[in-house]
Copies of this chain bind each other. A is one copy, B any other.
Amino acid sequence: MVVLAVDIGGTKFAAGLVGADGEMLLSDRVPTPPGGDADTLWKALAALVDGVAARASQPLIGVGIGSGGPMTWPDGFVSPLNMPGWRDFPLVDRLAERFPGIPVRIHNDAVAVAVAEHWRGAGHGTANMLGMVVSTGVGGGLILGGHLIDGGTGNAGHIGHIIVEPEGPACGCGGRGCLEAVARGPRLAQWALAQGWQPGSSEASKPLYVEAATASGRQLAFDAAAGDAVALAAMRRAGRAIGLALASATHLCDLDLVTIGGGLSQAGPLIFDPLEETLRAHARMDFARRVRVVPAALGQDAGLIGAAAFILQADRYWAG
């Protein structure tokens, strides 16, 4: 019993074979062709999945996909924000043609990560959790009562658009003051630059020096770890915003657990400490005090493992 799992991101395509218990049997990845048109992107993906599928020693029982959004769901016409070449691209249909006779199922990439953390990672054994990714975007997936929550159009889990500063910065979604508008890596770096941050100015972070224009959340986390005051303030700003969003989410959904992965989460206590402080100040009722916030346990394979779960654990994770 083997599933072909696919992870569609703005910087890389990944594919792998996943066994019945969620074990990664093998995987491969290629850079996303930068600026590629629809056909260029598809050819790169097709070559990748063909190569991986050819190495399967058992018949494939399905194809699971996690992809950057937005997309129509469950039919899977994708328009990933960072991939202008695909607009309403029929990704599920194309993969169904290539792998006929088996189910092809898709969800948002952050949803796939949340599912993986619930099935095999830090959320194993809990029934009510939010799996969160804090990186160049802020996304998530919601598992309640032991089952993945889809919402009306497959878009449940958009924790990045909980409002944390009603009059705050404009968000890429068109709104204002969303968690993502404050805490996504590039925006946080932009905020720090405006406060006088000089990327890589601390001794320890010089090896990672980047131009200010491309200063990233990763660089910022590195400078914060090296003691840079503005970078530290930026980590507190992100941690506080995440803490507020999680207090709201916990009150609405009575969560047991939140898992946080993604590049920015690797700042560790620099971000988790102010997060906890803010969350605990706002989540005071007994039921809300129960919630635990932990780092995600799975690494970069999480997206593939979660995508496979749409096939292998369909009773819990697939209602499409």
Please state if A253 and B254 are interface contacts (CB–CB under 8 Å).
no
Q: Are B152 and A254 in contact (CB under 8 A)?
A: yes
The answer to whether B319 and A142 touch across the interface, beta carbons within 8 angstroms, is no
Interface members, chain A 305-320 (any B CB < 8 Å): 319
Contact A285 B70, beta carbon cutoff 8 Å: yes
Please tell me if the beta carbons of B253 and A285 are within 8 angstroms of each other in the complex.
Answer: no
Given contacts A162-B251, A244-B163, contact A128 B152 (CB under 8 A): yes
Which of B144, B156, B248 lies in contact with A248, CB distance below 8 A?
B248
Nearest residue (CB) in B for A156 is B254
Q: Considering only CB atoms, which chain B residue lies closest to A129 in the complex?
A: B152
CA distance A60 to B128 in the complex (A): 34
Which of chain B's residues have a CB closer than 8 A to the CB of A209?
none
| Complex CA distance for A305 and B251, rounded to whole angstroms | 25
How far, in Å, is A220 (CB) from chain B's closest CB?
22
Q: Which residue of B lies closest to A287 (CB)?
A: B155
Q: Which of B145, B152, B155, B160 contacts A149 (CB 8 A)?
A: B145
Residues of B within 8 A of A145 (CB): 147, 149-150, 319
Q: Which residues of A in the span 251-276 have a Cβ within 8 Å of any Cβ on B?
A: 251-256
Stretch of A14-22, A91-99, A173-181, A183-191 lying at the B interface: A173-181
Alpha-carbon gap, A128 to B175, bound state (A) = 22
B251 in contact with A252 (CB, 8 Å)? no
Indicate how many identical chains form the complex: 2
Q: Which of A162, A249, A253 has the most CB of B within 10 A?
A: A253
Asked if B254 and A163 make an inter-chain contact with CB atoms under 8 angstroms apart, the answer reads no
A153, B287: Cβ atoms closer than 8 Å: yes
A163 touches B128 (CB 8 A): no
Partner among B147, B151, B284 whose Cβ is within 8 Å of the Cβ of A253: B151
- The listed residue (B161, B244, B251, B281) touching A158 by CB distance below 8 A is B251
For A9, the chain B residues whose CB sits under 8 A away are none
Contact B176 A142 (CB under 8 A): no
Whether, in the assembled complex, A29 has its beta carbon less than 8 Å from a beta carbon of chain B, the answer is: no
User: Can you show 27 pairs from A to B with CB atoms below 8 A apart?
Assistant: A70-B287, A128-B152, A145-B147, A145-B150, A145-B319, A151-B253, A151-B255, A151-B287, A152-B287, A153-B254, A156-B252, A156-B254, A157-B252, A158-B285, A159-B252, A160-B251, A161-B285, A162-B251, A174-B285, A175-B281, A175-B282, A177-B282, A178-B251, A178-B282, A248-B248, A252-B252, A253-B253
The 5 closest A-B pairs by CB, nearest first: A151-B254, A174-B284, A161-B251, A155-B287, A156-B254
